[in-house]
Structure 1
Amino acid sequence: MSRRPPQRAVAGRTVLLAGWLFADLLLLLLVIALGSLPREQRTGATPKPTAPSSPPPSTQPAERGLVLKPCSFTVRTGSAASVRQQFGGQLRGAGVAGRTAGFVLSFGTAPDPGPGQDAANKVNSMITNGFSRFKQAPKRGYWKGGPSGQVRIDVFFLATPDGDTSFPKRCHSSDDEGG
């Protein structure tokens, strides 16, 4: 004949086991939290100062900030040399030839989406290969309805090295025109 423990003893063990489970989970959360800290904070060590160095202009980090309004340029489609010449002249005219692009949205004008988006992507490739300050910037090509032959390029520039994120004075934006 097996003897069953009194009901009170079983309830006591359940509470005891639940307490240990809670304590183990708390310990696990503490280990996870400490493991997610950067190494310097876990060990209490202070990072060693390094000699200041700035990356080359074409690889400036995006952490600098971004001008939230795009500078808009329009180029006629054609040869790579023609597109680069048009775009470079517009960059110089707007006073932003020395600025680094944060990201670029291009809108190829065409009656149908396929050719328009293809034109935008082709211009993006020409910009990437022709302007070092645009190489690291993500670029996206889109379609805009209308007659073929033009691509509008909206450039969101990174902030200047001193942190200025104001809109460049000589730029114009497609945002001002409503599209």
Structure 2
Amino acid sequence: MRRDRMRTTLLAGWLFADLFLVLVLVGLASLPVTTKEGTPTSSPKPSVTAEPPERDRLRKRPVDFDIEIPPARFRDSGSQAAAMRDLLSRIDTELAERRLSRSRAGFVLVFASGPQEATGVAQDTAERIYQSLRRRHKVFKDSSGVGYWAGANSDHLEFKVFFYE
């Protein structure tokens, strides 16, 4: 009987020690993290990202269209204004055909063609075309975008426009 009591006491002691160890570990884990200077940092809280409202979500597929205006017309100061008017008119036509005249563009990719040795010039032209489009056309007013070189095999502009749903 004395032996059973001793086993029970020994078992209770081990359980108490294990419980104490678990409580110490939980206590240490709950302490704030400090920097080398000793100032506490806030622990990162998990961010909860809510689904954006439907109207602020971009469509998964872009609307693609080509405009047969040579990018060089936008680099020539004599034809630049006429080229922009022509571009705006053709974009209005493209949007009307697709019933997108009242839509909002979210992201725009503009591709301008040009010789391979002048890819930077073509890319700069595409960027300037996008910036002008953003300033002058209500559909593109609040969009983001970027210009790229479209290759040397053609002499036109390509657009890939992601509209809001």
Paired residue for 2:104? Answer: 100
SS of match in other structure, 1:106: strand
Structure 2: distance between partners of 1:103 and 1:66? 8
Tell me by how many angstroms 1:148 deviates: 6.3
Residue type of the partner of 1:134? F
Render the CA deviation track for 1:9-61: whole Å, top value 9, x for unaligned: xxxxxxx89964641432548x747x6679xxxxxxxxxxxxxxxxxxxxxx8
SS of match in other structure, 1:86: helix
Tell me by how many angstroms 1:155 deviates: 0.3
Give the TM-score, by structure 2 length. Answer: 0.59
The 1:63/1:111 distance shift into structure 2, 3 A limit, reads: same
1:134 aligns with 2:140: yes
Paired residue for 1:52? Answer: none
SS of match in other structure, 2:113: strand
Superposed CA RMSD: 3.3
1:154 aligns with 2:160: yes
Q: Structure 2 unaligned segments of length 5 or more: list them.
A: 1-19, 34-41, 74-79
Residue type of the partner of 2:122? G
Structure 1: distance between partners of 2:115 and 2:54? 35
Give the TM-score, by structure 1 length. Answer: 0.55
Which residue of 59, 64, 75 maps to 1:72? 64
In 2, are the aligned partners of 1:62 and 1:102 still within 8 Å (CA)? no
The 1:129/1:37 distance shift into structure 2, 3 A limit, reads: closer
Larger radius of gyration: 2
Aligned length: 122
Structure 1: distance between partners of 2:112 and 2:153? 10
1:87 aligns with 2:79: no
The 1:145/1:62 distance shift into structure 2, 3 A limit, reads: farther
Paired residue for 1:118? Answer: 124
Q: Structure 1 unaligned segments of length 5 or more: list them.
A: 1-15, 39-60, 160-179
Paired residue for 1:57? Answer: none
The 1:67/1:116 distance shift into structure 2, 3 A limit, reads: same
User: Which stretch of structure 1 is more off in the superposition, 79-88 or 19-28?
Assistant: 19-28
The 1:90/1:63 distance shift into structure 2, 3 A limit, reads: closer
In 2, are the aligned partners of 1:111 and 1:148 still within 8 Å (CA)? no
Tell me by how many angstroms 1:138 deviates: 1.1
Structure 2: distance between partners of 1:25 and 1:65? 40
Structure 1: distance between partners of 2:146 and 2:22? 55
